[in-house]
Every structure is written in structure tokens, then in C-alpha cells.
């Protein structure tokens, strides 16, 4: 068609008839219009008016022929024309008279640019020209390509890849369009984009021009980039593996045209060149700065990262880099020696925490190297200050080996300062923090920095949420250094923050292989007793065994979880079954809980056998969209049972069902184990899964799972369904044991493209595997999905049932709950949908599947009152899902304005009351969606607890109120977060229940400090007029059988499966130094729960004391492996007692005090 438009006018010109001329004009008009440039449009008007305006007809208005532009090609402002052949373009480039020697040099890096044709044609290309000039002025060649459509994958391959050698001709690519490579803002095709970029194999940056905001609006906004642009131009390109969403162009409010933001363009271009240099530099000369963290600031915590044995991993990485040709001179022989090198300062500097000092930076040098140093003085005074400082110089801690520097990232610096923790906004980085990054960039001269593990504090420094400006600290700190970040695969939300705010190329690592928690001590005895009860219950010994079960259960503190009859009480056989069933069900719950054992070491993937528990859990989920039935469902079916039915029966404690479920679980494990054994070699490695698999599949009786099941009661299971399932498990197994973490790191350091992949829970979404991918989240507008809404309904219904059962059949009027970023990514918005279902609205998607509307569900359909909510969004959720906050706020306001009776609509009821009390309108009173101020994260209760820097619970509650009381208002979405403390307090005071979701089996309540940090249970009690403590619930959707438990039940379950479980702590201790810290962390987080909710039983502390302190051998192991963490452990025990959370004997306390001074001495001694 376009060809026709091009040639037709030439033919028609020579036809005399008027009709033909009209046709010619019509085609010319099309050409002018499609050509779109100002000149074309002028000539278009001239032609039309000269030919068709009657009064002008005689005047013979001259016009030029339309200028036609290529549909896609290469454009350079100096070039005489556009090129559609890269060789021709480069020929011209070589003849440029204006170019200097540097630009002509063979060694000049080459940057590919991706531009939008419409900007070039319409002459709105100043921002493009700015980038081209900046790159060329810095000595980089450019190949700027453009396309008219939305699919850039073709042009990228055509112009950036040498047609002969098939190699990339560019060293890095910067897209200035801000769009996903294929599909722009409309329907994306990420797999195609990734395919094209894999061929290209260079770092791929997607920079963003402002579209919906003027420059001034963006600068003034604490949100930063407009939410719609964040969704379309930041989140979607991430799915292609796009990095570094740097805002490089603003908009002039007068002309509407784009213009360069000079400092941002500089930042973008230097970073693009530095990425390109990684491709050009040799390995021997490349300098890498490995950065480790210390959370909370304590020597025992140097090298903290979630699930990671950091020093062992660094050691493994460095050995590998050394073999690969990097200069790692002087690397010690073992990872223990590496720890020693970094932790211990041989020359003991005064006022240093005894870490090795890598560099002392004078204040003068610091100020010269750190242009933003003066801005830090507002919070920290004149440099050097007293953090990372000896009073005269700023101290950089770490150690250099050849071209590799291992450094310790300084901490926030205000962890121990209760006043600062209270501020609603976070403080800037301190001088020592800034000095660290100035050192890395300008003195050490890093070609890349590698942040080691989840996570540090750089990306959480104050600044805009997304779309940094010159005044945002994460941007200033990271400076010009390419940032590679090892990040836990299960944490896509915070990984996304690191990507957006500190420009990280995130490389995922696996969480340690999970194992079933198993049973120990009394719990093990119980399980034995139960099994003998089952075989002997009708023999007359039944009552006796039940008595033993009841007393053992009491010893195990199960009396709070199960209603136990008094000992010796006469009960009927039926009741006996029920009691045993309930205890059994609890035991099985504990036994089958998944826990990551030990810590992961980069470069050491799990063996096949270690992957069994994970595979069993993968097999436990139904995947209807892929046509895969779950293993338990297949097995239950064999006996004519529906697995959901079995789950429900087991939850109720029906002995028969509990036993059946146990058998199903056992059979599942057996079948999967048999399968894994067959597909591995003698060393337990999966050598050649595909070969092995083909030989396994399709041989009916020979299939290992069939062989296994033939000896069980499930021998008649559906073979076809099993084959489909095990084929899928085979794929998963291959992915679990794949080792790409080191490989991907090396690719990143060599300036190659790191394949992107979703982060999340490998059990729910095996696409997370293999690790070693550049983690991304999801299209934020895609959630909640229909499936998520379905699951949400189940959880909400169970929650409300539970609350009713415990509260005389009354519905809660208000539920205070938390929305987490990671949770909503992993579950595609389940908890978001829970909120919607509580207030009774339904999300509505548009034709692209984007959720941007809600509609009320009628009261008839809902069958209950609308429950009011107080939504506390984590800072990360706020950054990632601001559009969904907007949607929720609109939903709440919509519901508050429905004309419904107040006893059927608690949102309306409360909003009306609050509107009256505060003298505002209902819409404003109906503010329920809260979070931190922009650029600020967490309630800081976690920091206060970890550093024991709090006086009383009141202070913690005040922190929560002052930091979390920022509301999102859909009536003023551009404003961002606004403080609405009064409404926040009033809304919380109506809460009858608090509620959070657990999203992954490997992260539970005491594994991280986030959960108690956001728990308002005690706060609600203090705000409620009746002073009643609200019920607190935790939903657990990590297993096939979703559960809503009370908070105290969950705390107990967590303590039993982790802190007090020998399998867990022995697993941790096998990692040495880090292991002690992990144990201490669990105890500290437990104290956090006591402080925010008061839901921790005394026995938890008592048992912990028995396990770790009273056991002499254990005590010595802890003290010798990591004395600093052990000291903190003792301190935490004493604190739990001092704050009244743990009552124990005077002897115990005396022993702890004595130990404390012993370990103090020991630490002093070691260091001297």
C-alpha cells in the first residue's frame, strides 16, 4: 500500500482529467500527512488551499513535493540523509569533518540509540540531539536508529547486528523512547523483545522522557515520575530486561516540546559509556568493588544478606573470577581467612569498630570528590562527623585484593537515635556513607560495583520514588558506576526498588533448598504415641494412650493450639479420636512446614536430592491453566476422595482424614524421591535430565513413580495425569539445579545482556528458575487477576468466619491490614483483591487486561455487611503499585458514598462519623489507604528493635503513627502522599482485627523484621475507646491448603519450626559465622512481636534459653563462632526479660548476666 502511495502520483501527474488530478492530490495529501514534518504540513496546506479555495484558484500557489521519510532507519542530525543500511551510515560517519581524533579512534565505544520516528519527523528532537552530542563529546560513537511502528525488535536486529559476522556492532544500547521494545504502550511481546536483545547481548538501558508532566511538576513531585508513565515506561521495559530508568528529557510548558535535562543527560550518557566500557576492557584491568552490608550496625552482622552465606559466596565468586583472568592478587586460601582480613584491624584505629580500614579520606578530599556533601550537613553537620570517622578523616572499611575491593557499606546511621527514628521522613545519607561511594568511584576507580545480597541501604535513601532528579541521594551516591546486585529470587519487589532507584542489574540467587521441618523432642514422641494409638485404640489401651498424648501435648505447649481435656477426665471413644485428630493435625502441620535449611552459597546449586522437598511442594499445587493436576489430588482421586474435602476434614481434626492426608504426603514424597533418584547419577547430580527423562517416560510400569506407588494404597492412580505432572517436575528439576548465578555475574561484568526473569516463589511460579536472571516484577496494572480474586474470596471468608466464631457471631467492623509488594507480585494481587472483597467491590479489566476500574458488588451477592478497612501499604508497595493505591482509594470512596444502611456498610458508617467529627466531607473522611511519605520506608520499629533503641511501647506506636499516616488521595493523585494522621488514628480505632498475609514458605514471621514492623495490634488497642485488644490474624497461602491462623498460633508455629527446631538451627550453624547471626536475628524478631502485639508466649523464650544457653556445648559453639552476634543474643534475652516479655528464674538471668560479661571480655581479648 505504501509503495502505491509513493509511485502513484508520478503516474497520475501525466493524466489530464480533473478526476485524475483529484486522485493525485488525495495521494499527495496522504504523503504530506504521513511525512508529518513541519515543511510537509506547510506544503500540504499550500497545495490544498491553492487548488480548492475558490478565491485562491487563480493565484498559482507554489508548493514543494512531499519529503518522504524512511519508516525505519538510521538518523543522525549531521547526516545528509537517513540511512537504511548500517554500512552506508558508518561510511558517512567515517568521513565526518567535524569529528575529533578520539571519536574516530578504533577503540571508541559504540552506543546504539533507539528513537521514535515521530519525534524526528516533527522536529521535536532536541532531547535526542542532546544525547547524541553528549555521547560524541565523551568520545563514543553512536548509531541512532528509529522506527515508526511499535515493534523495534526488527530494526534492532537489522541495524545493530553485523549481517556477516552476526555479532553486535554496538557495546551498549540506550532506548530513548521509554517504551517496551515490542508493543510500546499497547500489547507487548516480551519474549520477542528478549529474543532480539539476547542476540544483541549488550547492556540495555531504557531512559524516559517526561510525557505527562512539565519539568517543574516532576521536580516538585515527591513521587517523581507520573504513575502512568511508571506503569507504561518503567515497569513494562523491565520485563524486557531494560535497566536504568533515568529521566533525561523534560517538557516545556509553553511549547510542549521536549528538552534535555543537562545533568540527567550527562548521567545517562556516562553510565551508558561505562556499561559499554565493560565490554571493551580486558579482564586483567577491570576493577570491581564488592560491597557487603552490616544490618543492624554491629560487627557480628558484617556481610548480612537474606539466605546467603556471604563470605563463602564472595570467596567462591572471587576464585571463579581469578580463574577467568581477573586480578585478585593476595586472595586468602579460605573464606574464613577472608572474613578475618576484613573484620579485624591489625592496627586497631581509635574509634573504629575494629574493621579493617581500607582508606582514610581527609575532609578536604571528601568535599572535593563529593559535590553534594554540603547538602548532607542539614542532617549531619559539618564533615567528618562521628560516623565512619576518626574525628579528622572519613574511614572506608574493607580490603583490596588486586583489582577487587571488598568494602563494607556504612549503615543509615540513625538506627540508635530514637528521635531520628520518629521523623516521618528519613534522613539523608551521612558523610561516611557518601565517602564510601566517592572512594569506590573516584579513588578505587571501580568499573563496576557488585552489591552482595539482599539488601543494603543505598537504594532506600531519600529521593523521589521513581525517576530520580539531581537532588535524589540514590542517584548521587551510585554516581557513574555500573551497579550489579545479587538479589534473592524470592524478593522481586525490593529488587525492583534497587533497579529503579540505584540502577541495579539485579542477578537472582536461589534461596537455600527447603526441607520439611520434621519433628523433634516431645513433638516426635507425640507422633509416635499417635501412631500407636491408631493401631491400639480398640484394644482397650486407647484411653491410656490418649492420656499420655494429652500430657505430652501439654509439655509441648500445644494446649493453646488445641483444646485439651483435663488429664484423667473420662471421655468417649469418639471424643478421643477428635482430640488425637486435632493434635495429629497440628503435628503434621509442623512436620510438613517447609524451611530453608542453612544458607545458600553462590555457585553451589542444590543437589537433586536437596531439591526433593521443593519439588514435592511444586507438585502439590493444581495448575489448571497448564493442564496439570496436583499430586495429592491425583492420589486422593484414586480412593474416590476430593483433596479439598480431605484438607477440610484434616483441618477439623477428623482422625481418618488427618491420617489419609499424612499417607498422601508420604506417598507424594516417596514418588518424587523415586523419580529424582532415577534421574541423577551416583554423585547425586542431575547430569543429563533430558536423556534420562526420555528413557524414563513412556515405559508404563517402569516409570519410577509408578513403581513406588504400586506398593502403596494408591497403586491405581491415573497414569496419564501422573506422566503430565512428572514431565513438568522434570523440567523444574533441571531448572532448580542449574547453575547460572556465577555465569550471569560474569556476563554482566563483561558488558553482556543478562536474561530477565520474574522474581517470586519458585513453588508457585517455577519460571523464577533458573536463578541468575535479571529480576523483574510484573505489569502493575495486570493485578489483581481473576484467579487472585478467587483465592482472595476464600481467605476473606475464612478470616471473617474465624473472627465471627471467636466474637459471638459478630462481623468485624474494620480490619487493619498490610499490603506488601512482594506478596502482591507473587500472588498476582491476592491481598489487593482481599481488600476489595472486604469492602465489596470487584476489579474490572479493560481489553488489554489492565485493571483500572472497580464496580460495587451488591449486598445480596456479598451476603454480609461491607467491612471497613485500614490499609497500610509498605513503602515498596507504594513505589510499585501507586496506580493500585489510587484504585483502592477510589473504591473506598465509592463504597462510602453508596446509599446503603449503615449496619450493612461499615465503611459508610465510619466515614459519616469521622466526617462529622472532623468537619470534613465524606469523601475526605473515607481515606483508608496509607503508607509512608514518599521516598521513605518502614515504620522504623524494626530499626528501633534491632538496635534496642526504644524506651517503651508508646514510643514505638508513636513511630508507627507518625511514619505510616500518609494517605493517598485519588481526588488529588498528583500530589502524592499527604499526612492525615487524625483520620488514620480514627480509622485504626475502629479496628476489630488486624491481618497480614504470608506469601512464601521460606519467609515467615520471625525471618524478617518487616512483619512486626508493620503490625499495629497493640497500637489499635491503645487507640480503641474500649481499650480492647483486637484479634490478630495471619493468612498463609503458601501451601495448597490455605490457612487463616491467629497471630499467636503463627508465632508458635514459627518458633517450633525454626528457632527451636534442631534441624533448622543445626542447618544454620553449618554456615558458621553467619549462622549464629541468623539464630540471634530470629530471637530479636520474636522480641519485636512481643513489643508490637504481645502475642508471644513465655515458653518460647524459656525454650530458647534452654536450647541455646543451658546447653553448654551449644553455648560454646555460638560464642566461638561469632562472639559479636552471641553477645547480641544474650543482650536480647536480657532485654526480653527486662521489658517484661519473659518471666524466668533468677538463676537464668544471673547466668545470662555472667555470660554477657564473659563474652565482652572475650571480644576485647580477641581484638587486642
From the CB of 264, what's the least distance to other proteins, in Å? 10
Site for other proteins in 781-800 (CB under 8 A): none
Which of 255/539 has CB closer to other proteins? 255
How far is it, in rounded angstroms, from Cα 448 to Cα 289? Answer: 6
Q: Does 113 bind other proteins (CB under 8 A)?
A: no
Can you tell me which of 137, 573, 917, 978 binds other proteins, judged by CB under 8 A?
A: 137
Which of 30/461 has CB closer to other proteins? 461
Can you tell me which of 100, 695, 807, 1120 binds other proteins, judged by CB under 8 A?
A: 100
From the CB of 34, what's the least distance to other proteins, in Å? 23
Site for other proteins in 990-1009 (CB under 8 A): none
Tell me the window of 218-226, 563-571, 800-808, 956-964 that interacts with other proteins (CB under 8 A): 218-226
Can you tell me which of 470, 644, 750, 1102 binds other proteins, judged by CB under 8 A?
A: 470
φ, ψ dihedrals at 397, nearest 5°: -95, 140
Which of 473/1101 has CB closer to other proteins? 473
Q: By CB under 8 A, how many residues form the interface with other proteins?
A: 37
φ, ψ dihedrals at 567, nearest 5°: -65, 145
Which of 262/713 has CB closer to other proteins? 262
From the CB of 101, what's the least distance to other proteins, in Å? 12
Q: Does 471 bind other proteins (CB under 8 A)?
A: yes
Q: Does 1137 bind other proteins (CB under 8 A)?
A: no
- Are 1126 and 1119 in contact by the 8 Å Cβ rule? The answer is yes
Q: Which residues contact 1051 (CB under 8 A, 6 or more apart)?
A: 1005, 1006, 1086, 1089, 1095, 1096, 1097, 1100
Q: Does 129 bind other proteins (CB under 8 A)?
A: yes
From the CB of 403, what's the least distance to other proteins, in Å? 29
Query: How buried is 690 (Cβ within 10 angstroms: 0-12 exposed, 13-18 middle, 19+ buried)?
Result: exposed
Which of 473/714 has CB closer to other proteins? 473
Which of 218/984 has CB closer to other proteins? 218
User: For residue 727, how many other CB atoms are within 10 A of its CB?
Assistant: 14
Q: Does 133 bind other proteins (CB under 8 A)?
A: yes
From the CB of 20, what's the least distance to other proteins, in Å? 33
455 preceded by a cis bond (ω within 30 of 0): yes
Q: Does 136 bind other proteins (CB under 8 A)?
A: yes
Can you tell me which of 14, 16, 58, 98 binds other proteins, judged by CB under 8 A?
A: 98
Query: How buried is 447 (Cβ within 10 angstroms: 0-12 exposed, 13-18 middle, 19+ buried)?
Result: buried
How far is it, in rounded angstroms, from Cα 96 to Cα 406? Answer: 44
Tell me the window of 130-138, 776-784, 916-924, 1054-1062 that interacts with other proteins (CB under 8 A): 130-138
Q: Does 469 bind other proteins (CB under 8 A)?
A: yes
Q: Is the dihedral of CA 20, 22, 25, 27 positive or negative?
A: negative
Can you tell me which of 130, 308, 339, 1019 binds other proteins, judged by CB under 8 A?
A: 130
Q: Where are the alpha helices (DSSP H) in 840-950?
A: 859-862, 875-880, 882-896, 906-918, 922-925, 941-946
Q: Does 215 bind other proteins (CB under 8 A)?
A: yes
* H or E stretch covering 656: helix 655-678
Can you tell me which of 90, 375, 920, 1149 binds other proteins, judged by CB under 8 A?
A: 375
What secondary structure, in 3-state letters, does 271-320 show?
HHHHHHHHHHCCCCCCCEEEEECECCCCHHHECCCCCECHHHHHHHHHHH
* H or E stretch covering 998: strand 993-998
Q: Which residues of 225-245 are buried (b: 16+ CB within 10 A; e: fewer)?
A: bbbbbbbbbbbbbbbbbbbbb
Q: Does 60 bind other proteins (CB under 8 A)?
A: no
Mark 417-456 with x for binding to other proteins (rule: CB under 8 A) and - for no binding: ----------------------------------------
Site for other proteins in 292-351 (CB under 8 A): none
Which of 826/980 has CB closer to other proteins? 980
Which of 369/620 has CB closer to other proteins? 369
Can you tell me which of 163, 371, 381, 698 binds other proteins, judged by CB under 8 A?
A: 371
DSSP E strand stretches across 76-187? 110-116, 141-147, 172-175
From the CB of 73, what's the least distance to other proteins, in Å? 18
Task: For the chain, give the longest Cα–Cα distance.
Answer: 119
Q: Does 222 bind other proteins (CB under 8 A)?
A: yes
User: For residue 99, how many other CB atoms are within 10 A of its CB?
Assistant: 16
User: 190 — alpha (psi -120 to 50), left (phi > 0) or beta?
Assistant: alpha
DSSP string, 333-402: SSHHHHHHHHH--TT--TTS-SPPEEEEEEHHHHHHH-TTGGGGHHHH-STT-SSSB-SSEEEEEEEEET
From the CB of 137, what's the least distance to other proteins, in Å? 4
Which of 821/935 has CB closer to other proteins? 935
How far is it, in rounded angstroms, from Cα 337 to Cα 340? Answer: 5
How far is it, in rounded angstroms, from Cα 76 to Cα 318? Answer: 43
Q: Which residues contact 219 (CB under 8 A, 6 or more apart)?
A: 469
* H or E stretch covering 692: helix 689-696
Q: How far apart, in Å, are the Cα atoms of 294 and each of 311, 396, 1132?
A: 13, 14, 18
From the CB of 370, what's the least distance to other proteins, in Å? 13
Q: Does 969 bind other proteins (CB under 8 A)?
A: no
Candidates 70, 170, 47; CA nearest to 117 is: 70
Site for other proteins in 226-255 (CB under 8 A): 250, 252-255
Site for other proteins in 250-279 (CB under 8 A): 250, 252-255, 259-260, 262-263, 265-266
Can you tell me which of 72, 134, 366, 968 binds other proteins, judged by CB under 8 A?
A: 134
From the CB of 471, what's the least distance to other proteins, in Å? 5
Which of 186/978 has CB closer to other proteins? 978
Q: What is the CA radius of gyration of the chain?
A: 32
From the CB of 361, what's the least distance to other proteins, in Å? 19
Q: Does 78 bind other proteins (CB under 8 A)?
A: yes
Tell me the window of 399-407, 468-476, 705-713, 763-771 that interacts with other proteins (CB under 8 A): 468-476
**612-619 and 655-678 helices cross at what angle (nearest 10)?**
120
Q: Does 124 bind other proteins (CB under 8 A)?
A: no
Q: Does 219 bind other proteins (CB under 8 A)?
A: yes
Q: Does 952 bind other proteins (CB under 8 A)?
A: no
Q: How far apart, in Å, are the Cα atoms of 14 and each of 8, 25, 26, 426, 682?
A: 11, 13, 15, 75, 84
Interacting residue ranges for other proteins, rule: CB under 8 A: 77-78, 96, 98-100, 103, 126-127, 129-131, 133-134, 136-137, 215-216, 219-220, 222, 250, 252-255, 259-260, 262-263, 265-266, 371, 375, 469-471
Amino acid at each position: 500500500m505504501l509503495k502505491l502511495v509513493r509511485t502513484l502520483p508520478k503516474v497520475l501527474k501525466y493524466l489530464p482529467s480533473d478526476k485524475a488530478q483529484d486522485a493525485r492530490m488525495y495521494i499527495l495529501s496522504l504523503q504530506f500527512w504521513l511525512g508529518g514534518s513541519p515543511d510537509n504540513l506547510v506544503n500540504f496546506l499550500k497545495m490544498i488551499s491553492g487548488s480548492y479555495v475558490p478565491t485562491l484558484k487563480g493565484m498559482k500557489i507554489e508548493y514543494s513535493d512531499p519529503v518522504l521519510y524512511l519508516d525505519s532507519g538510521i538518523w543522525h542530525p549531521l547526516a545528509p540523509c537517513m540511512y537504511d543500511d548500517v554500512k552506508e551510515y558508518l561510511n558517512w560517519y567515517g568521513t565526518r569533518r567535524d569529528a575529533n581524533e578520539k571519536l574516530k579512534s578504533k577503540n571508541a565505544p559504540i552506543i546504539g540509540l533507539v528513537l521514535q520516528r515521530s519525534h524526528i519527523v516533527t522536529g521535536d528532537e532536541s532531547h535526542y540531539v542532546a544525547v547524541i552530542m553528549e555521547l560524541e563529546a565523551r568520545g563514543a560513537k553512536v548509531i541512532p536508529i528509529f522506527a515508526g511502528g511499535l515493534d523495534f525488535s526488527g530494526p534492532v536486529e537489522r541495524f545493530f547486528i553485523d549481517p556477516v559476522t552476526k555479532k553486535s556492532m554496538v557495546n551498549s544500547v540506550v532506548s530513548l523512547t521509554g517504551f517496551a521494545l515490542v508493543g510500546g504502550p499497547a500489547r507487548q511481546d516480551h519474549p520477542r523483545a528478549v529474543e532480539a536483545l539476547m542476540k544483541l547481548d549488550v547492556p540495555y538501558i531504557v531512559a524516559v522522557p517526561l510525557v505527562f508532566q512539565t519539568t517543574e511538576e516532576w521536580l516538585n513531585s515527591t513521587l517523581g515520575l507520573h504513575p502512568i508513565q511508571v506503569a507504561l515506561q518503567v515497569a513494562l521495559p523491565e520485563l524486557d530486561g531494560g535497566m536504568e530508568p533515568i529521566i533525561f528529557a523534560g517538557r516545556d510548558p509553553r511549547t510542549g516540546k521536549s528538552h534535555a535535562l543537562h545533568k540527567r543527560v550527562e548521567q545517562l550518557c556516562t553510565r551508558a559509556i561505562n556499561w559499554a566500557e565493560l565490554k571493551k576492557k580486558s579482564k586483567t584491568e577491570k576493577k570491581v568493588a564488592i560491597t557487603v552490608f552490616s544490618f543492624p550496625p554491629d560487627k557480628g552482622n558484617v556481610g548480612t544478606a537474606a539466605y546467603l552465606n556471604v563470605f563463602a559466596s564472595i570467596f567462591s565468586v572471587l576464585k571463579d573470577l581469578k580463574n577467568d583472568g581477573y586480578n585478585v592478587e593476595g586472595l586468602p586460601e579460605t573464606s574464613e581467612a577472608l572474613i578475618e582480613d576484613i573484620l579485624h584491624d591489625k592496627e586497631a584505629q581509635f574509634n573504629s569498630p575494629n574493621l579493617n580500614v581500607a582508606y582514610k579520606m581527609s575532609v578536604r578530599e571528601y568535599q572535593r570528590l563529593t559535590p553534594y556533601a554540603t547538602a548532607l550537613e542539614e542532617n549531619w553537620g559539618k564533615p567528618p562527623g562521628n560516623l565512619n570517622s576518626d574525628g579528622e578523616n572519613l574511614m572506608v572499611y574493607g580490603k583490596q585484593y588486586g583489582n577487587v575491593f571488598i568494602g563494607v557499606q556504612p549503615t543509615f546511621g540513625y538506627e540508635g537515635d530514637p528521635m531520628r527514628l520518629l521523623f516521618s521522613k528519613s534522613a539523608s545519607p551521612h558523610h561516611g556513607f557518601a565517602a564510601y561511594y566517592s572512594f569506590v568511584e573516584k579513588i578505587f576507580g571501580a568499573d563496576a560495583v557488585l552489591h552482595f545480597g539482599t539488601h543494603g541501604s543505598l537504594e532506600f535513601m531519600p529521593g523521589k520514588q521513581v525517576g530520580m532528579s539531581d537532588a535524589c541521594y540514590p542517584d548521587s551516591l551510585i554516581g557513574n558506576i555500573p551497579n550489579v546486585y545479587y538479589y534473592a529470587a524470592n524478593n522481586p519487589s525490593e529488587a525492583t526498588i534497587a533497579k529503579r532507584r540505584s540502577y541495579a542489574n539485579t542477578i537472582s540467587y536461589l534461596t537455600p533448598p527447603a526441607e520439611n521441618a520434621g519433628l523433634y523432642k516431645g513433638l516426635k514422641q507425640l507422633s509416635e504415641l499417635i501412631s500407636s494409638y491408631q493401631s491400639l485404640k480398640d484394644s482397650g489401651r486407647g484411653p491410656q494412650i490418649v492420656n499420655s498424648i494429652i500430657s505430652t501435648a501439654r509439655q509441648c505447649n500445644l494446649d493453646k493450639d488445641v483444646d485439651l481435656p483435663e488429664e484423667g477426665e473420662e471421655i468417649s471413644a469418639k471424643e478421643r479420636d477428635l482430640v488425637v485428630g486435632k493434635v495429629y493435625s497440628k503435628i503434621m502441620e509442623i512436620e510438613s512446614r517447609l524451611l530453608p535449611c542453612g544458607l545458600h552459597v553462590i555457585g553451589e546449586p542444590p543437589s537433586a536430592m536437596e531439591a526433593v522437598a521443593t519439588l514435592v511442594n511444586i507438585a502439590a499445587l493444581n495448575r489448571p491453566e497448564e493442564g496439570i493436576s496436583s499430586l495429592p489430588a491425583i492420589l486422593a482421586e484414586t480412593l474416590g476422595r476430593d483433596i479439598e474435602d480431605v484438607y477440610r476434614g484434616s483441618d477439623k481434626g477428623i482422625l481418618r482424614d488427618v491420617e489419609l492426608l499424612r499417607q498422601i504426603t508420604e506417598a507424594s514424597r516417596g514418588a518424587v524421591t523415586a523419580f529424582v533418584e532415577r534421574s541423577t547419577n551416583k554423585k547425586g547430580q542431575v547430569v543429563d535430565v533430558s536423556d534420562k527423562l526420555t528413557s524414563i517416560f513412556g515405559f508404563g510400569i517402569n516409570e519410577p513413580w509408578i513403581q513406588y506407588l504400586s506398593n502403596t494404597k494408591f497403586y491405581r492412580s491415573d497414569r496419564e495425569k501422573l506422566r503430565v505432572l512428572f514431565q513438568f517436575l522434570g523440567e523444574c528439576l533441571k531448572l532448580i539445579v542449574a547453575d547460572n548465578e556465577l555465569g550471569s555475574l560474569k556476563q554482566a561484568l563483561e558488558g553482556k545482556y543478562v536474561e530477565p526473569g520474574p522474581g517470586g516463589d519458585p513453588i508457585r511460579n517455577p519460571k523464577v528458575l533458573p536463578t541468575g536472571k535479571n529480576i523483574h516484577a510484573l505489569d502493575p496494572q495486570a493485578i489483581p487477576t481473576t484467579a487472585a480474586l478467587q483465592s482472595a474470596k476464600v481467605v476473606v471468608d475464612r478470616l471473617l468466619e474465624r473472627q465471627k466464631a471467636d466474637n459471638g457471631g459478630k462481623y468485624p467492623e474494620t480490619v487493619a491490614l498490610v499490603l506488601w509488594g512482594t506478596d502482591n507480585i507473587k500472588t498476582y494481587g491476592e491481598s489487593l483483591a482481599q481488600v476489595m472483597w472486604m469492602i465489596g467491590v470487584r476489579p474490572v479489566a479493560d481489553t488489554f487486561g489492565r485493571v483500572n476500574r472497580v464496580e460495587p458488588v451488591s449486598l445480596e451477592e456479598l451476603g454480609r455487611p461491607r467491612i471497613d478497612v485500614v490499609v497500610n501499604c509498605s513503602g515498596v508497595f507504594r513505589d510499585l503499585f501507586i496506580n493500585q493505591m489510587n484504585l483502592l482509594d477510589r473504591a473506598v470512596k465509592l463504597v462510602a458514598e453508596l446509599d446503603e444502611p449503615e449496619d450493612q456498610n461499615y465503611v459508610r458508617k465510619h466515614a459519616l462519623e469521622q466526617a462529622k467529627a472532623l468537619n470534613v466531607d465524606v469523601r475526605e473522611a473515607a481515606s483508608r489507604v496509607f503508607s509512608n511519605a514518599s521516598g521513605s520506608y518502614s515504620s522504623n520499629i524494626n530499626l528501633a528493635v534491632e538496635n534496642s533503641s526504644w524506651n517503651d511501647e508508646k514510643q514505638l506506636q508513636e513511630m508507627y503513627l507518625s511514619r505510616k499516616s500518609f494517605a493517598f488521595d485519588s481526588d488529588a493523585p498528583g500530589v502524592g502522599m499527604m499526612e492525615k494522621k487524625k483520620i488514620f488514628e480514627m480509622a485504626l480505632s475502629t479496628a476489630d482485627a488486624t491481618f497480614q498475609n504470608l506469601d512464601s514458605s521460606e519467609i515467615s514471621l520471625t525471618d524478617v523484621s518487616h512483619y512486626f514492623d508493620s503490625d499495629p495490634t497493640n497500637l489499635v488497642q491503645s487507640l480503641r475507646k474500649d481499650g480492647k485488644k483486637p484479634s490478630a490474624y495471619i493468612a498463609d497461602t503458601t501451601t495448597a491448603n490455605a490457612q487463616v491462623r491467629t497471630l499467636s498460633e503463627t508465632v508458635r508455629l514459627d518458633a517450633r519450626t525454626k528457632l527451636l527446631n534442631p534441624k533448622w538451627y543445626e542447618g544454620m550453624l553449618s554456615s558458621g559465622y553467619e549462622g549464629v547471626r541468623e539464630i540471634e536475628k530470629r530471637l530479636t524478631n520474636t522480641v519485636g512481636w512481643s513489643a508490637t502485639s504481645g502475642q508471644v508466649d513465655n515458653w518460647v523464650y524459656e525454650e530458647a534459653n534452654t536450647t541455646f544457653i543451658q546447653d553448654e556445648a551449644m553455648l560454646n559453639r555460638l560464642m566461638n563462632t561469632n562472639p559479636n552476634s552471641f553477645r547480641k543474643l544474650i543482650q536480647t534475652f536480657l532485654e526480653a526479660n527486662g521489658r517484661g516479655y519473659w518471666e524466668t528464674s533468677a538463676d537464668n538471668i544471673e547466668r545470662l548476666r555472667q555470660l554477657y560479661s564473659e563474652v565482652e571480655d572475650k571480644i576485647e581479648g580477641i581484638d587486642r
